[in-house]
Amino acid sequence: MKIAKASVNICSPGRNFVTLKIETDEGIYGLGDGTLNGRELAVASYLSEHVIPCILHRDPFQTEDIWQYLYRGAYWRRGPVTMSAIAAVDMALWDIKGKALSTPVYNLLGGRSRDGVLVYAHAHGAGIDEACDDVARHLAMGYKAIRVQSGIPGLDATYGVPKGGQPYEPAERGLPSESRWSTEKYLNHVPKLFARVREQFGDDLHLLHDCHHRLSPIEAARLGRELEPFHLFWMEDPISAEFQEGFRVIREHTTTPIATGEVLNSIWDVHELIRNQWIDYTRLTLTHAGGFTALKKIADFAGLYHVRTGCHGPTDLSPVCMAAALHFDLAIHNFGIQEHMPHGKETDEVFPHSYRFEDGYMFPGDAPGLGVDLDEKLAAKFPYQRAYLPVLRKLDGTLWDW
């Protein structure tokens, strides 16, 4: 079997997605997600102009050699654009392999290591009362793990809390919006939020929180310590993820488990964090970190240090990535948890899939390959629209990490 054709689909059924379709001379095709929120066209052109011409006529079963060719062979390595493009190819090739062998991809990754994939939902609210109402709503849906974010008194907007009761969607059409930030107000508020949530919902529920890269190491250490009585599953991205050494300070001061890595793209971005046991969960995901071929190696390395996985799973990764993540999560040994932000109706219709949610767990389904498709006719009705993530400034106007 040979790769006969490959094409990039860019569509916007509610938000932008970049999908690579690789077709073989035997009529089998595979899909890969290359979506990079706010920089979609960079990956699309990297794929069309620089990658597709190099993979034509190759054997799609050679996932390792093709991965090495696109990574080592390109001389220029790493970074979100390159790694998302490589990931799209890798995912599509594993999809082809599964379809050709008539088996779900998880069977090619080692087979099932568990019955289902524990997922966490997002609960949020303008204040503590509203956030608690949203926790109750998700509990009623069956979720066993819930991330909680709430508005901060004195700030107009904050990460993870949508305006007007919509599901949270970080990208906004048009140019980037700006909002203001105060670390002091945030640090004073968050322990109160989790004190209330634990008091109201008891000890059984797994609680998570995303600091979204905004603190310094010693500020994060203070927050981690103050959250200790509420036994979080994890405190995510307390500081900017690329500052690996900064996690040492946090670790020395608190037992609150730490997760990071959704913006990281290779083993070289996390190996100090893992080797030094400064984190408990890696957030790297298949789309932004080079696909199955790369993430399996990162997970195996992390497993040696008792670090578990918690793949990033926002709406800005397409259902192709969600399907791929579920195969990965079901198969690897050191799986921790999977993020689940359900896609909107339009997205689900453009990407029909076999995965499903039931009672706090997700299941990839048993369709051969990834079990996800792209309805190209319907996708054509939703053309790309420029969109960006917001930009953040401190109260005095200093540009800050969003």
Active-site residue numbers? 159, 212
Q: At its nearest, how many Å lie between ligand KDG and the CB of residue 126?
A: 19
Residues 318-347 that bind ligand KDG (CB under 6 A): 339
Q: At its nearest, how many Å lie between ligand KDG and the CB of residue 264?
A: 13
Within 8 A by CB and 6+ apart from 351, the residues are: 17, 318, 319, 320, 343, 372, 373, 374, 375
Q: Is 219 in the site for Mg ion (CB under 5 A)?
A: no
Q: Is 316 in the site for Mg ion (CB under 5 A)?
A: no
Choose the contact partner of 95 out of Mg ion, ligand KDG, none; CB within 5 to 8 A by kind: none
- Rounded to 5 degrees, φ, ψ at 28 are -90, 140
Q: Is 373 in the site for ligand KDG (CB under 6 A)?
A: no
Report the Cα–Cα distance between both ends of the chain, in Å, rounded: 46
Residue (of 47, 78, 98, 94) closest to 266 by Cα position: 78
Burial (Cβ within 10 Å: 0-12, 13-18, ≥19) of residue 179: middle
**Is 33 or 210 the residue whose CB approaches Mg ion more closely?**
210
Q: How far is CA 255 from the centre of its chain?
A: 24
- Rounded to 5 degrees, φ, ψ at 394 are -70, 170
Q: How far is CA 366 from the centre of its chain?
A: 23
Residues 256-285 that bind Mg ion (CB under 5 A): 262
Using CB under 5 A, pick the residue from 33, 134, 210, 226 that binds Mg ion: 210
Choose the contact partner of 371 out of Mg ion, ligand KDG, none; CB within 5 to 8 A by kind: none
- Let me know: does 311 contact 87? Beta carbons within 8 Å: no
Residues 154-173 that bind ligand KDG (CB under 6 A): 170
Q: Is 125 in the site for ligand KDG (CB under 6 A)?
A: no
**Percent of the chain as helix, strand, coil, to the nearest 5:** 40, 20, 40
Q: Is 339 in the site for Mg ion (CB under 5 A)?
A: no
Residue (of 63, 2, 58, 9) closest to 31 by Cα position: 9
Q: At its nearest, how many Å lie between ligand KDG and the CB of residue 144?
A: 18
Choose the contact partner of 269 out of ligand KDG, Mg ion, none; CB within 5 to 8 A by kind: none
- Give the footprint of ligand KDG on this chain (CB under 6 A): 37, 170, 210, 212, 262, 312, 314, 316, 339, 389
- Give the footprint of Mg ion on this chain (CB under 5 A): 210, 262
